Structure 1
């Protein structure tokens, strides 16, 4: 929970009273590797902060599921579109490693918005971070080669990238595992 407090302190000032209200609503949840946090067809009920672990977002498909995002330690994670609209998700979120998150329910977040001075700032910060991540992903798909996307992912999280199966990385950067193997061979 201290990681969240430190994360907030870097972005804005939070009073002890507001932190007490906010932190009282958080619940710690631990997931084993390969656990579905959110399944397509279900409504996302939580905004979570990853204390440790890696998760992937993917569109399920019998023949060729598509990984479209990863989330690492010290970031917010959520099926945010489903969370906001209260509509079923069209994708899954799955842990790739044992993962610990601190979660806040939709209803508790609404309560924090109403009862604290900092609530809207917290919500805005989480929203901004998730939006920036989404925008960066979209721009990378439009402006970068697969090799550049791989190198960026490698630069951002080199120690964690080793924990992600290559087939998921290949799907994420929009190529086959064989093409990823050629890229890795070329740059090594």
Structure 2
């Protein structure tokens, strides 16, 4: 199964060493599929899974003053979770929603906790995953302090060129912290500069 091999590679990259007992991880991975618009995790409910996305795009968003605010996107080869809810087992404030058809695998909370308890290396993977989540959030916050909206958009395009093709403009603009009209101007300016 190529998807499982990809997960193993991602975890070993995170760990920076080979996984000693891969079969233990493999045994708790559950295949999942979601249609466009389905929720992987909903605000107000406890998030019980960390997802590895093999196809499709997931949007992470919250609602503030009646307005949807896109916080993140997860693409194939990435993990996605309402992580604060997952680790506290309290209701999430974030929604994870499939933008298009999504397939992947889920690590469920209880099974993952049992795995952590059984092996130091798996516990280390959990710690490394938490550190990666922190760094992702840190870099996003830093980009808001150091980059203009146009620079943030250019960076997003460079890292994830598929964004333009599959994600509605409104959601990208929200992610960048600007109005859709501003994003339209940025796109026009970038096309003119080329």
Unaligned runs of 5+ in 2: none
Quick one: distance in 2 between partners of 1:141 and 1:25? 37
- 8 Å contact kept, 1:170–1:180: yes
Correspondence for 1:54 among 39, 57, 60: 57
- Which among 28, 31, 37 is matched to residue 28 of structure 1? 31
Alpha-carbon separation, structure 1, partners of 2:7 and 2:145: 32
- 2:157 is matched with which residue: 147, 154, 161? 154
> What TM-score comes out, normalization by structure 2 length?
0.91
Q: How many residues align?
A: 186
Q: What residue number does 2:170 align with?
A: 167
CA RMSD across the alignment? 1.4
Distance (Å, rounded) in 2 between the aligned partners of 1:7 and 1:21: 16
Query: Could you tell me how far apart the structure 1 residues matched to 2:5 and 2:127 are?
Result: 20
The more displaced of 26-35 and 110-119 is 110-119
1:125 offset after TM fit, Å? 2.4
Of 105, 109, 114, the residue aligned with 1:106 is: 109
Q: Which residue does 2:98 correspond to in 1?
A: 95
Q: Where does the alignment leave 5 or more consecutive residues of structure 1 unmatched?
A: none
Give the 4+ runs in structure 1 shifted more than 6 A. none
Deviates more, 1:88-97 or 1:110-119: 110-119
Query: What TM-score do you get using the length of structure 1 for normalisation?
Result: 0.93
